[in-house]
């Protein structure tokens, strides 16, 4: 990030940080040489709009050479040799479990055996349509040169945080036959995501933030499948007519799709497809993540509100339930902010962005990050439910961290 881009971004958030109007079609970025990180910030991160990058951005990836046959299909032989014994999560696309699909775990070699049989059976099987989803390849394996993280997505606090803890990540491989699909959803924590087709094509149905409200049924639930004829039932979906058509994208092999924060989507594999997908959060969508977490806690509080007076430690139980449902609670969110903040403060103190900091985009990026963390942390500290969290054992008290951030902002502020 350069100084001009940082200044533009900070003015954007001082002005309220509203997203842009949804376009009639998703923008296509053809040439890497003609598209900078600053272009991505201005055109897509700040207005929170999707775009598709051409296959030229990923043509050097090892996965596109080794995981794909000359005919453009998954190279099952290579995958078996490299990862055959790795246990992977597999979803059954034909079975609805709430608004998702049930999963089982099996060695990759067993899944590939199924996949071959599914193809030879005319894309049909008594076992249903199985889809390998959320395989933590980077976490579970000694990864060959599958992909290179694009600079546009390198400010990735979510994976930086989990890498620091060395317990999890949000980097995934998806692989499945033609006809496999992912139900309607928005990404975890209202994160950004990016997705690259190593081979095959996907059809994406994208809905801008807020449009999903018109898709709720009369009970308030979101649909499992937005292509289902049941959505035409005005009695069941009384507000359906207020939702415009989705942005539809056919993502070709090698292409890279940026999915903005809070955009609900549904995805269908048009061919036998393998993709690499990351969820990520940074200063551009941190406030959306915090807003989402507040909504999640309110939902839990409403669900068990009748026991507020009779349940000991009711507030703590709400946080526990929230974490089990959402993957994070207010205490862990503070630790997330703290880890990233301390790394950015270190960068600013040293005046350089070392590889260990996770801030490969330089000191201007670090200064921008500090400003965004400070704004959200100030809201966290003042939140009544966070004030009920026991912070006595925290290694750094939230108000002290906020003071340090404000001090750094005073030194690095753009005039």
**What is the tens place of the pLDDT at every residue in 151-198?**
999 999 999 999 999 888 999 999 999 999 999 999 999 999 999 999
Last residue of a domain, one of 234, 249, 280: 280
146 shares its domain with 232: yes
Give a yes or no: residue 339 inside a domain: yes
The Cα 57–Cα 150 span in angstroms is 8
pLDDT at 143: 64
262 shares its domain with 292: no
Contacts 24+ apart (CB under 8 A), 379-388: 379/290, 380/290, 380/330, 380/333, 380/334, 380/337, 383/294, 383/330, 385/297, 385/315, 385/318, 385/319, 385/330, 386/330, 386/334, 388/315
pLDDT at 355: 40
36-47 burial, b if ≥16 CB within 10 A, otherwise e?
ebeebbbebbbb
Question: Do 46 and 15 form a contact (C-beta atoms < 8 A)?
Answer: no
CATH of the domain at 228: 2.60.120.650
What tokens does 253 get? 């092999």
Q: Which domain holds residue 242?
A: 22-280
Question: Do 280 and 153 form a contact (C-beta atoms < 8 A)?
Answer: yes
What tokens does 95 get? 């079975």
88 shares its domain with 124: yes
pLDDT at 352: 56
Give a yes or no: residue 173 inside a domain: yes
294 shares its domain with 364: yes
211 shares its domain with 257: yes
245 shares its domain with 130: yes
Last residue of a domain, one of 259, 280, 301: 280
139 shares its domain with 227: yes
264 shares its domain with 375: no
- Helix (H/G/I), strand (E/B), else coil: 343: helix
Give a yes or no: residue 267 inside a domain: yes
Last residue of a domain, one of 280, 295, 326: 280
Q: Going residue by residue through the chain, which has 415 residues, state the pLDDT in tens, using 9 for 90 and above.
A: 999 999 999 999 998 877 778 899 999 999 999 999 999 999 999 999 999 999 999 999 999 999 999 999 999 999 999 999 999 999 999 999 999 999 999 999 999 999 999 999 999 999 999 999 999 998 766 667 899 999 999 999 999 999 999 888 999 999 999 999 999 999 999 999 999 999 999 999 999 999 999 999 999 999 999 999 999 999 999 999 999 999 999 999 999 999 999 999 999 999 999 999 999 999 999 999 999 999 999 999 999 999 999 999 999 999 999 999 999 999 999 999 999 999 999 999 987 544 444 446 689 999 999 999 999 999 999 999 999 999 999 999 999 999 999 999 999 875 4
Contacts of 133 (CB under 8 A, 6+ apart): 89, 90, 91, 103, 172, 174, 176, 182
387 shares its domain with 338: yes
Give a yes or no: residue 10 inside a domain: no
Give a yes or no: residue 340 inside a domain: yes
How many domains does one find in the chain?
Answer: 2
The Cα 107–Cα 88 span in angstroms is 6
Give a yes or no: residue 118 inside a domain: yes
pLDDT at 413: 79
137 shares its domain with 231: yes
pLDDT at 142: 63
Query: Please, how many CA atoms are within 13 Å of residue 53, restricted to the half-sphere of its CB?
Result: 28
Q: Is 113 buried (19+), middle (13-18) or exposed (0-12) by CB count in 10 A?
A: middle
250 shares its domain with 356: no
Nearest to 337 by CA among 382, 384, 375: 375
Residue 268: phi and psi, rounded to 5, are -125, 135
43 shares its domain with 148: yes
Give a yes or no: residue 8 inside a domain: no
Give a yes or no: residue 17 inside a domain: no
């Amino acid at each position: 990030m350069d100084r001009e881009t940082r200044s533009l971004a900070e003015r954007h958030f001082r002005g309220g940080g509203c997203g842009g109007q949804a376009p009639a079609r998703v923008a296509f970025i053809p040439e890497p040489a003609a598209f900078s990180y600053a272009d991505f910030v201005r055109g897509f991160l700040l207005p929170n709009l999707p775009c598709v990058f051409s296959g030229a951005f990923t043509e050097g990836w090892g996965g596109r050479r080794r995981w794909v046959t000359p005919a453009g299909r998954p190279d099952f032989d290579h995958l078996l040799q490299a990862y055959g014994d790795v246990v992977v999560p597999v979803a059954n696309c034909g079975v609805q479990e709430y608004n998702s699909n049930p999963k089982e775990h099996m060695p990759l070699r067993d899944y590939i055996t199924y996949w071959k049989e599914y193809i030879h059976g005319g894309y049909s099987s008594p076992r249903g349509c199985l889809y390998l989803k959320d395989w933590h390849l980077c976490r579970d394996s000694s990864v060959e040169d599958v992909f290179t993280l694009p600079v546009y997505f390198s400010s990735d606090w979510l994976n930086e945080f989990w890498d620091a803890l060395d317990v999890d990540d949000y980097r995934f491989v998806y692989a499945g036959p033609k006809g496999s699909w992912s139900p309607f959803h928005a990404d975890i924590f209202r994160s950004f995501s990016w997705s690259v087709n190593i081979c095959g094509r996907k059809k994406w149905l994208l809905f801008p933030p807020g449009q999903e409200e018109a898709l709720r049924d009369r009970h308030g639930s979101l649909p499992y499948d937005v292509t289902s004829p049941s959505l035409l039932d005005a009695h069941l979906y009384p507000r359906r007519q207020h939702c415009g058509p989705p942005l539809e994208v056919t993502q070709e092999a090698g292409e890279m799709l940026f999915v903005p924060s809070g955009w609900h989507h549904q995805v269908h594999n048009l061919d036998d497809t393998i993709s690499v997908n990351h969820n990520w959060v940074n200063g551009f969508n941190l406030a959306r993540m915090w807003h989402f977490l507040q909504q999640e806690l309110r939902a839990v509080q409403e669900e068990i509100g009748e026991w507020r007076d009779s349940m000991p430690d009711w507030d703590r139980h709400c946080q526990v339930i929230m974490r089990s449902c959402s993957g994070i609670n207010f205490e862990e969110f503070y630790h997330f902010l703290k880890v990233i903040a301390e790394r950015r403060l270190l960068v600013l103190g040293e005046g350089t962005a070392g590889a260990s900091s996770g801030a490969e985009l330089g000191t201007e990026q670090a200064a921008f990050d500090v400003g965004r963390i400070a704004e959200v942390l100030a809201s966290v500290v003042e939140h009544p439910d966070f004030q009920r969290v026991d912070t006595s054992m925290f290694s750094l008290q939230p108000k002290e961290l906020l003071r340090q951030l404000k001090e750094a902002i005073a030194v690095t502020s753009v005039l």
